[in-house]
Amino acid sequence: MDLNTLRHSASHVMAQAVKILWPDAKLGIGPSIEDGFYYDFDKKEPFAPEDLEKIEAKMAEVIKKDYKFEKSEMKKEDAVKLFEKIGETYKAQLLKEIPDEVVTIYKDGDFLDLCRGPHIESTGRIKAFKLLSIAGAYWHGIETNPMLQRIYGTAFETEKDLKEYLRCLEEARRRDHRVLGKQLEYFSFNEEVGPGLVLYHPKGAITRTIIEDYIKREHLRRGYELVIGPHILKSDIWIRSGHYEYYKENMYIFKIEGQEYAIKPMNCPGHILVYKSKMRSYRDLPLRYFELGTVYRNEKSGVLHGLLRVRGFTQDDAHIFCLREQAEAEIMKVIDFVADTLRVFGFDDFSVELSTRPAKSIGNESDWEAAQSALINSLNKKGLNYEVNEGEGAFYGPKIDIKLKDALKREWQCATIQCDFALPERFDLTYIGQDGKDYRPIMLHRVILGSLERFMGALLEHFAGQMPLWLAPIQCIIIPVSEKVIGYAKEVEHYLREAEVRTAVDERNERLEKKIRNAEVEKVPYMLIVGEKETKERTISVRLRSKGDIGKMTLDEFNKLLKKEIEEKK
């Protein structure tokens, strides 16, 4: 049985149950989606969480009656009259927007709905379902339209599959980076600052800095050069690049002394201007410019989501200017860079998508075909399988998207490689060839981690907040058994800090068990217990997160243990 068909049928049964319980509720739309389904309702009183149980019970009654899903066709004008007569104004509006002269109606029992289908044979085929949550949703997704109430649910062929999905869902809730970020004091959002703008707390700032330092070193090691550009540029630059025409609604634009400026949503124009700052030769290429560039995008408040969708974020952004014959080799190097980096951060699997030319774009067809061929050939030479997203490329070129898979096998967008012939043309980029003539370079836009904010969110959820030692903001916490040994605890702290270990002493007047529990809640990798015996022996009793006591060690022995684990990045 096709899961999408099953879930779409379950959404109809949910709407049917709602109409039985609240006959005055008006129906919006109810499609199947990834992992489930939803239906939108216009209901005077808001749904309460306990209403989901009532709806599920009524759905079970409909399912037990095993109504057949009966399809019929009707002239659109007759269907409009029908739905207006029964008070389903949203359905009537949908019908008026449909160009077809004949539409399909589905009926099961006394319930009928406008729908293209298909559906399963009968309601009795629905064996395992669950309603999950309630949310708000504007009609047609337009903020000036009425706010409807959306109920989300899911359905599977078997109870076993449903239980496994719900288990994964609960695990995902436990790993939610928004909860962990607050609990572990990594970051916060504040309405006084504005939505979608991140405040990094000391712990989050340390982990982010470690990530930044690593990615900078790797870029330098792989032949990139660091550049830094301003956060605002005159609008003339964005008009020339095409962003003003194709991306303006996502930009923050303002005036200074009569001159219009924009806060950068991308880093590429700045890198282009560095390239143009002097004459280039074919011997100079490829040129690889790298910047940890902070950008700002005017995202709607409704789509903001923790660190995953924000208005201000930093990208490990680079642009490679190369000869046409160098493009494939450079793309393959970027793919290797991505795979190597993901493994270092604990991600062993990823998926690949190729996005082609969108309807709104710049550049000529032959250049687009050449750019797309370079991407496809590179993927084929690396032996990577990929899916094609028709029409989802950037406005200036096709792209490869690489999505990491976390511990729950969820995909997170990170790396992107875009092959661009258009912007070098718009900015008249040239290099002197072997024959002394001017030629146009190819420009590759690429990120490895992508948005550092999104990558931090992915890391927190992948590790459930238990960061590996090299990324942990506090690598070990020293726990003195009593006030008598605080002096020795401070000596241990000093030794470890001199060895560049991130550590702290828990000096609170609390029971040992409570201090250990607190360190475990804060997900600190190592706990060092020091009492009178350890003070006398000049040792420490070491506890490992999630494993407990691993024995006594000298400070030198413990330091060697840490250094090995940090070096191996486990």
Positions marked catalytic: 268, 297, 315, 317, 319, 399, 445
What's the chain's Rg over C-alpha atoms? 29
Cross-strand pairs, 151: 39, 134
Residue located via tokens 């146009």: 440
User: By three-state DSSP, how is residue 366 classified?
Assistant: helix
Neighbours of 116 (CB within 10 A): 11
Residue 492 identity (one-letter amino acid): V
CA distances from 569 to 335, 344, 345, 518, 563 (A): 21, 7, 8, 25, 10
Closest by CA position to 61, among listed 120, 20, 8 = 20
Neighbours of 2 (CB within 10 A): 11
Element (H, E) at 541: strand 539-544
DSSP single-letter state for residue 4? H
DSSP single-letter state for residue 146? P
- Using CA atoms, how far apart are residues 186 and 202, in angstroms rounded to an integer? 7
CA distances from 481 to 339, 426, 433 (A): 45, 68, 73
Number of Cα atoms under 13 Å in the Cβ half of residue 124: 5
Neighbours of 129 (CB within 10 A): 24
Cross-strand pairs, 349: 405
CA distances from 40 to 46, 296, 521 (A): 12, 32, 39
DSSP single-letter state for residue 468? -
Structure tokens at 22: 């609240």
CA 363 to mean position of chain CA atoms: 29
Element (H, E) at 214: helix 202-221
List Cβ neighbours of 535 (8 Å cut-off, separation of 6 or more): 485, 488
Burial of 28 (0-12, 13-18, 19+ CB in 10 A): buried
Residue 301 identity (one-letter amino acid): S
